[in-house]
Amino acid sequence: MEALATDFKIKEALQSLGVKDVNQGTSTGSDWFSEGDIIESYSPVDGKLIGAVKTTTKKDYDKVMEAATSAFKTWRTMPAPQRGEIVRQFGDKLREKKQALGKLVSYEMGKSFQEGLGEVQEMIDICDFAVGLSRQLHGLTMHSERPGHRMYEQYHPLGVVGIISAFNFPVAVWSWNTALAWVCGDVCVWKPSEKAPLCGIACQHIAAEVFKANNLPDGISCLINGDYRVGEMMTKDKRIPLISATGSTRMGKIVAQEVAGRLGKTLLELGGNNAIIVTPDADIKMTVIGAVFGAVGTCGQRCTSTRRLIIHESIYDKVKSAVVDAYKQLRIGNPLDENNHVGPLIDKEAVEMYNTALKKVVAEGGKIVVEGGVLEGEGYESGCYVKPAIAEAQPDFEIVQHETFAPVLYLLKYSGDVENAIDIQNNVAQGLSSAIMTNNLREAERFLSVAGSDCGIANVNIGTSGAEIGGAFGGEKETGGGRESGSDAWKIYMRRQTNTINYTTELPLAQGIKFDL
């Protein structure tokens, strides 16, 4: 592939990541194989073909699962701090390859180069977090009601963890799951998005390099590729006790039903319809920064992207004017050019959803205040570049109730006190991220109270987009209820066991039952 304007050569980047043959899309580590159909990865940046990957067949999948279940027997017996050392080495490899992997993420997915680097940094950060965690997988000790007895609980690894990730964060979300699962003693089978398969192949090569250097068996990190039919192999497989799935609410409901039918566990990170409440006591400059980045970052393709701006009527015109002026400064173009703010949507299907949303909001009675549209001409040959748009709307519009995975921001007006704004915010099916802009302590505390935001993430004076590794990430309602990354999210990757030890010469029975022999 020819160099882009940014002097980025995709072949050189892939080679520096250890990828010499992108054709094979199934791996147990050092072993690569595939017998399935071909899926082609086209860059939304310029529409060019990056590479073709063979998908995973049922035969390939069974080979992966055989390796994974075998490797688990070895990996689970390694002390957790030693597993943490392996994850530390993986994090160091990511540091070495950060530039190349960040560029690949940017080129294959379409997010800005800065965001691509930021995504790899998230991978590094979760590795650091997991290394510390490897010495803190603690249980509890409890007092027994029986004399001479001790009770405690401990956590053991689950086994094989299945990971299904989405295109918008093609590497970070996998690492959030994998780094924690690895230190917990689990092995992982990953199906990356079919829209960004090369990012998955690159990560698998990096992980395999670390495991091979430590003489560890294949199967601790496994990769499969394909569409929903490959994902179904995991969701239906009783050998996989936990499925972590990121994607749409529609997809999550299918996964949840399938896994629940075999009494497995799910960790779901699904859709968001995130809002920022702007009260009369808000700092307007901070509001504009938070709202604009939240709405247009990653071209509106984050699950935490800002979709709704709920503004008090007394400052509505002032805030609207400031946000509209800020949109005039946005630069749209090649995401590998760091002068640009907004890159392309992932593909033509996403462009169609964007166009449909703008038509629908007008049909329902809304007003477009920043015109959208698909960009054409030099630099926009892929057909995936669109203008971030703003529309005035009503909270009960059907299109406002749904998540449009594109840079469309809805301005909503509220009157009265902050309770009315919170009601508007909560009155959607999704519950991922939320924020309030205010310098009023009472409003901030009300927003964070039990009667406030119903989302998994609630922020004050920062936007909805982005999250720190140290906190658990996830949402409620149709967002799925899952939690990844920090806090005690590690517990989902383990099984809890309660233990009782009797160190006497007697065996007291429950409820005073006598059973003498």
Residues near 250 by beta carbon (within 8 Å), at least 6 away in sequence: none
Q: Which of 138, 159, 408 is nearest to 273 (CA)?
A: 408
> How crowded is residue 181: how many other Cβ atoms within 10 Å of its Cβ?
26
What's CA 421's distance to the chain center, in Å? 28
Report CA-CA distances (Å) from 22 to 17, 25, 60, 219, 336: 11, 7, 17, 20, 22
DSSP code of residue 386:
B
- DSSP states along 313-373: TTTHHHHHHHHHHHHTT--BS-TTSTT-SB---SSHHHHHHHHHHHHHHHHTT-EEEE---
Calculate the alpha carbon distances from 341 to 122, 274, 293 in Å: 20, 21, 9
Question: Of 122, 269, 443, 484, which residue is the catalytic one?
Answer: 269
Strands of the sheet with 494-502, listed across from one edge: 141-143, 149-157, 494-502
Catalytic residue list contains 384? no
Roughly what angle, to the nearest 10 degrees, separates helices 98-109 and 80-96?
70
First to last CA, the chain: 82
298: which 2 tokens?
A: 């990653």
Which two tokens mark 295? Answer: 């709405």
Catalytic residue, candidates 303, 403, 455, 484: 303
Closest CA to 274 of 324, 322, 310, 319: 310
Query: Whole-angstrom Cα distance, residue 280 to residue 334?
Result: 38
Integer-rounded Cα radius of gyration of the chain: 25
The first and second tokens of residue 311, run together, are: 């503004």
Is 108 noted as a catalytic residue in this protein?
Answer: no
Pairing state between β 49-54 and 141-143: unpaired
Residue 297 one-letter amino acid? G
Q: Which residues contact residue 446 at a Cβ distance below 8 angstroms, ignoring those fewer than 6 apart?
A: 418, 419, 422, 452
**In which residue are the tokens 């967002």 written?**
479
Alpha-carbon distance of 39 to 108, in angstroms, equals 14
Cα angle 311-295-170, degrees, rounded to a multiple of 5: 150
Return the amino acid letter for 8: F
**Integer angstrom CA distances of residue 34 from 24, 205, 449:** 6, 16, 52
Where do we find the tokens 């509106």? Answer: 300
Kindly state the tokens that stand for 275.
Answer: 């809002």
Report the catalytic residues.
269, 303
